[in-house]
């Protein structure tokens, strides 16, 4: 322990207080020994700090720079840029006296439908982990902390506070934990945020395997684990399983529980003190900034320019037939689509911030095309096509040489707490594309959004520009790319399938009626699946065009034969063979042809971004270590390298490999002891995920799915259920009515806000209302309510509730009276 002496000066009550938030955004101060209260707030693509006196998420937040969200930043594959953004984020925190920024999020994009994909980087853990690590380093170099989130297997928003991700250990290690592992090992975030969901039946917050064994013992994490907001189910279990801090404050009720558990030897002195020590450490790390930065102000202009640079590098040119882009300077250009004027540049939820200044593409294009014609095309968030708007769009298109149509997400598609219902654009937007294509051959579509969309019109248009959510200066960046002031250089960090039906998790994406989420596809996520299963895709992982061409030559390796523990240097020469200064993202994939293990066709194991002036050549070096060849063997219980020949593929996208070389890797890891996987999980071996039987999945899991089926005989509500589960009961139906009416009045008919708030409240397990109410509602009271829901027996329920009220008093009195001093 680093602060043994200080920890020993604290009373049990003070120790327990240090492990619980003071309010929504602060940790408790222990003034007696001079420990200040520090602030933690969102993140991740800019600072979201509620103004003074606002509790909870608050609607008024201080102004800050809105950088592109992670889904966009991931397309830059640019480590240096991530570090620069990290530094800028830290400076904004310093000005606002924020000690820990809640981010980045490295959850894997398992399905395009996850409503929070806009906050996540990639379907590939290497891209996510490497970029997150640099962002963390950038922030933390300035003595501001981060919170790597949401740990782990949290790739669905529906029922997020209760659902159970059923994942096999290999998929956990290779896909869902890998990005966390990379970021932890390379950057040591001050905190890791434990997710809402369960994994294989245990809440992440109560999962000692995850928080203690893997995170701390195996990876060497030395920071504090903090709960996602309201993710704590059982405070004492969580503490014993390695969760240090509960956020936000749950009042005194959990402080009492910790103190009582300590008294009763349920929590050991070592567990309590170690957690307190970790919290002291992060407070101490924050102190220099709290003292030094009294008058610090960040440079708004410089941060806005950085946001623009990031947006430029994030833009992906998906298609450019006949080199229709960049726009010719003398062309008559029409812009169609309200998103050109009212861009969606960030998502909804805890990451939503109040930007310093927003630029839209339409205004920025006017600089180059003063005679730009504009037609609205559709109304934001509307689904039904509007005939008059369609006609206006056609008129504008008919009178122009080229039409740029801006389409993208509705607000509810990019929102924490919700998943998308499909992968489609609105009917109104699709109708505009169709109508314009009928009257003009030169159509360019600019797509905004948190994740990929189906593009059934893809062959009808000449160019497609994918922008994701580009932050406050995205409009200027889009205009510069369209006009050719810069060459696009982003590459997709996720595959764009033709349709949702093609995606590997299509049948198992949403929680089932028992709130189980079966990760049936195991490691076959994203391109790992499409390639193996030979499912054609619209745009492959790593794809992105440029206004120039790149040649790849002279692939060399430092050795043709290595042992598994050696490092291998790979060199390749890249030449910009066109007329634009540009940047290329060189991607390195490893292939193991002859394998006993079920493996993807190839896997990304290295990447570098390289800047090349027109005509320039550069040698790029990528160093591989043993992790490039490993797979996780559940039989052996460790990472293993198969002995034999591996191909090193280098290229411009996963589907555009330019050059390759074979090397031999010698290993005596025992991987050769593996029985051929083809014999006992044939569907996985053949990537026929849809055909995988329960037995095959259970073989991967190593346990039976029956363990997660509820006991049919006691089909009654429990305090682990949510208000959503109560709707079927007479009382639940009444409550639903009351809440819906209240929300309707509160938001004056704003349907999206009503739905947002309703769904948030209705997905909280009932038991947690005790913590949310800071103990005013005790868990006994919740039990009384549940009893009433199940039985309708008012008399008995009131008895239980009354017992709950005395319970609250009984809990609080010893704490305030100093019993635990
Ligand atoms: C989100 C976290 C966020 C926290 C605080 C939660 O609902 O899942 O990502 O940091 O709220 O706003």
Q: Output phi, psi for 647, to 5 deg.
A: -100, 135
Ligand 1 pocket test: which of 102, 117, 246 has the largest number of ligand atoms within 8 Å of its C-beta?
102
Angstrom CA distances, 418 to 159, 422, 670, 820, stand at 9, 12, 44, 42
Burial bucket for residue 257 (CB in 10 Å: 0-12, 13-18, 19+): buried
Q: Output phi, psi for 708, to 5 deg.
A: -105, 10
Q: If you measure from the C-alpha of residue 415 to the centroid of ligand 1, how many angstroms do you get, rounded to a whole number?
A: 12
Residue 676 burial (CB count, 10 A): 11
What average pLDDT does this structure show over 778-793? 86
Ligand 1 pocket test: which of 24, 42, 120 has the largest number of ligand atoms within 8 Å of its C-beta?
42
Rounded-to-integer distance, Cα 450 and Cα 121, Å? 10
Burial bucket for residue 816 (CB in 10 Å: 0-12, 13-18, 19+): exposed
Q: Which tokens hold the place of 181?
A: 């592992």
pLDDT exceeds cutoff 80 at 294: no
- Tell me the catalytic residues: 228
For position 816, what pLDDT does the model report?
A: 61
Q: Among 21-25, 298-302, 503-507, 714-718, name the one with the lowest average pLDDT.
A: 714-718
Q: Which residue has the tokens 């314009």?
A: 436
Rounded-to-integer distance, Cα 100 and Cα 286, Å? 8
Residues 6+ apart with CB under 8 A from 56: 24, 50
What average pLDDT does this structure show over 23-39? 94
- Three-class secondary structure of residue 153 per DSSP: coil
pLDDT exceeds cutoff 70 at 812: no
For position 409, what pLDDT does the model report?
A: 87
- Three-class secondary structure of residue 601 per DSSP: coil
What average pLDDT does this structure show over 693-709? 92
pLDDT exceeds cutoff 70 at 340: yes
What average pLDDT does this structure show over 559-584? 97
pLDDT exceeds cutoff 90 at 36: yes
Q: Which of 250, 355, 286 is nearest to 100 (CA)?
A: 286
pLDDT, one tens digit per residue, over 493-536 is 999 999 999 999 999 999 998 999 999 999 999 999 999 999 99
**Is the distance from CB of 147 to CB of 39 less than 8 angstroms?**
no
Q: Which tokens hold the place of 731?
A: 């009382």
pLDDT exceeds cutoff 70 at 58: no
Q: Output phi, psi for 760, to 5 deg.
A: -65, -50
Q: Burial code of 707-723, b = ≥16 C-beta within 10 A, e = fewer?
A: ebeeeeeeeebebbbbb
pLDDT, one tens digit per residue, over 413-456 is 888 888 999 999 999 999 999 999 999 999 999 999 999 999 99
Q: Output phi, psi for 662, to 5 deg.
A: -100, 145
**Is the distance from CB of 544 to CB of 467 less than 8 angstroms?**
no
pLDDT, one tens digit per residue, over 614-659 is 999 999 999 999 999 999 998 888 999 999 999 999 999 999 999 9
**Is the distance from CB of 128 to CB of 108 less than 8 angstroms?**
yes
DSSP 628: G
For residue 295, name the pLDDT band (cuts at 50, 70, 90): confident
Ligand 1 pocket test: which of 103, 350, 353 has the largest number of ligand atoms within 8 Å of its C-beta?
350
Pairing of strands 316-320, 224-227: unpaired
Q: Is the peptide bond before 568 cis (omega within 30 degrees of 0)?
A: no
Q: If you measure from the C-alpha of residue 227 to the centroid of ligand 1, how many angstroms do you get, rounded to a whole number?
A: 9
Q: If you measure from the C-alpha of residue 518 to the centroid of ligand 1, how many angstroms do you get, rounded to a whole number?
A: 24
**Is the distance from CB of 741 to CB of 748 less than 8 angstroms?**
no
Residue 798 burial (CB count, 10 A): 13
Q: Which tokens hold the place of 339?
A: 């998103």
- Ligand 1 atom nearest to 196, measured from its CA: 8
* Stated pTM of the model: 0.95
Q: Residue 316 region, left (φ>0) first, then alpha (ψ -120 to 50), else beta? A: beta
For residue 53, name the pLDDT band (cuts at 50, 70, 90): low
For residue 710, name the pLDDT band (cuts at 50, 70, 90): confident
Q: Whose CA is nearest to atom 7 of ligand 1?
A: 229
Rounded-to-integer distance, Cα 193 and Cα 479, Å? 38
**Is the distance from CB of 624 to CB of 553 less than 8 angstroms?**
no
- In three-state form (DSSP H/G/I as H, E/B as E, the rest C), the secondary structure along 761-816 is HHCCEHHHHHHHCCCCCCHHHHHHHHHHHHHCCHHHHHHHHHHHHHHHHHHHHHHH
Terminus-to-terminus CA distance in the chain, angstroms? 22
**Is the distance from CB of 414 to CB of 449 less than 8 angstroms?**
yes
Q: If you measure from the C-alpha of residue 350 to the centroid of ligand 1, how many angstroms do you get, rounded to a whole number?
A: 5
Q: Which residues line ligand 1 (CB under 6 A)?
A: 42, 102, 149-150, 228-229, 350
pLDDT exceeds cutoff 80 at 748: no
């Amino acid at each position: 322990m680093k602060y043994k002496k200080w920890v020993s000066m604290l009373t049990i009550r003070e120790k327990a207080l240090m492990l619980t938030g003071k309010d929504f955004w602060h940790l408790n101060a222990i003034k007696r020994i001079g420990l200040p209260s520090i602030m933690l707030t969102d993140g991740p693509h800019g600072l979201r700090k509620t103004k003074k006196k606002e509790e909870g998420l608050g609607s008024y937040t201080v102004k800050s720079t809105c950088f592109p969200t992670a889904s966009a930043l991931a397309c830059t594959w640019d480590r240096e840029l991530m570090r620069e953004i990290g530094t800028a984020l830290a400076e904004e925190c310093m000005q606002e006296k924020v000690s820990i920024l809640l981010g980045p999020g490295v959850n894997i994009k398992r399905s395009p439908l996850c409503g929070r994909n806009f906050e996540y980087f990639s379907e590939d853990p290497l891209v996510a982990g490497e970029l997150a690590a640099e962002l963390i380093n950038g922030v933390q170099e300035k003595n501001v902390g981060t919170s790597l989130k949401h740990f782990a297997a949290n790739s669905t928003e529906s029922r997020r506070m209760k659902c159970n991700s059923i994942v096999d250990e290999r998929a956990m290690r290779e896909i869902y934990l890998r990005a966390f592992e990379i970021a932890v090992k390379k950057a040591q975030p001050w905190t890791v945020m434990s997710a809402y969901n369960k994994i294989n039946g245990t809440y992440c917050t109560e999962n000692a395997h995850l928080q203690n064994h893997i995170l701390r013992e195996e990876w060497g994490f030395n920071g504090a684990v903090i709960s996602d907001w309201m993710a704590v189910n059982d405070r004492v279990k969580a503490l014993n399983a390695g969760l240090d801090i509960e956020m936000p404050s749950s009042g005194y009720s959990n402080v009492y529980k910790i103190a009582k558990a300590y008294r009763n030897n349920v929590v050991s002195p070592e567990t309590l003190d170690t957690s307190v020590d970790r919290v002291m450490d992060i407070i101490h790390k924050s102190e220099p900034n709290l003292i030094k930065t009294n008058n610090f102000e960040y440079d708004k202009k410089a941060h806005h320019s950085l946001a623009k640079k990031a947006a430029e590098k994030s833009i992906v040119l998906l298609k450019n037939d006949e080199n229709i882009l960049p726009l010719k300077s003398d062309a008559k250009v029409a812009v169609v689509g309200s998103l050109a004027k009212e861009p969606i540049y960030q998502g909804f939820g805890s990451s939503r911030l109040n930007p310093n200044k927003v630029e839209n593409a339409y205004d920025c294009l006017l600089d180059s095309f003063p005679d730009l014609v504009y037609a609205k095309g559709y109304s934001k968030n509307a689904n039904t096509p509007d005939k008059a708007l369609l006609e206006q769009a056609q008129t504008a298109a008919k009178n122009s040489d080229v039409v740029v149509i801006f389409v993208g997400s509705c607000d509810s598609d990019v929102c924490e707490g919700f998943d998308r219902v499909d992968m489609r654009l609105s009917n109104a937007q699709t109708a505009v594309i169709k109508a314009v294509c009928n009257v003009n051959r030169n159509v360019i579509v600019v797509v905004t959004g948190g994740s990929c969309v189906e593009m059934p019109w893809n062959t009808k248009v000449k160019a497609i520009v994918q922008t994701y959510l580009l932050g406050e200066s995205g409009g200027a960046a889009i205009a510069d790319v369209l006009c050719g002031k810069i060459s696009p250089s982003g590459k997709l960090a996720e595959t764009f399938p033709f349709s949702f039906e093609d995606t590997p998790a299509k049948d198992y994406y949403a929680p089932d009626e028992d709130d189980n989420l079966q990760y049936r596809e195991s490691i076959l996520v994203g391109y790992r699946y499409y390639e193996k299963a030979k499912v054609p895709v619209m745009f492959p992982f790593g794809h992105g065009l440029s206004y120039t061409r790149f040649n790849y030559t002279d692939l060399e390796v430092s050795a043709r034969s290595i042992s598994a523990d050696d490092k291998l240097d790979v060199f390749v020469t890249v030449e910009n063979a066109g007329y634009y200064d540009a940047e290329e993202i060189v991607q390195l994939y490893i292939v193991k042809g002859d394998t006993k293990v079920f493996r993807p066709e190839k896997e990304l194991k290295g990447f570098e971004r390289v800047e090349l002036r027109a005509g320039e050549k550069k040698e790029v070096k990528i160093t591989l270590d043993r992790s490039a060849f490993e797979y996780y063997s559940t039989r052996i219980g460790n990472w293993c390298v198969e002995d034999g020949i591996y191909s090193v593929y280098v290229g411009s996208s996963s589907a555009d490999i330019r050059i390759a070389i074979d090397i031999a890797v010698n290993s005596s890891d025992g991987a050769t002891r593996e029985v051929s996987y083809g014999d006992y999980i044939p569907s996985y071996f053949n990537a026929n995920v849809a055909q995988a039987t329960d037995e095959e999945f259970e073989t991967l899991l190593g346990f039976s799915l029956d363990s997660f089926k509820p006991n049919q005989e006691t089909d009654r509500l429990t305090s682990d259920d949510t208000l959503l589960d109560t709707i079927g009961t007479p009382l639940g139906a009444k409550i639903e009515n009351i809440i819906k009416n209240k929300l309707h009045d509160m938001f004056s008919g704003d349907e999206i806000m009503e739905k947002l708030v309703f769904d948030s409240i209705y997905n909280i397990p009932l038991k947690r209302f005790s913590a949310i109410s800071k103990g005013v509602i005790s868990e006994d009271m919740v039990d009384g309510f549940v009893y009433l829901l199940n039985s309708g027996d008012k008399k008995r329920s009131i008895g239980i509730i009354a017992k709950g009220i005395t319970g609250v008093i009984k809990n609080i009195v010893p704490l305030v009276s100093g019993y635990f001093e």
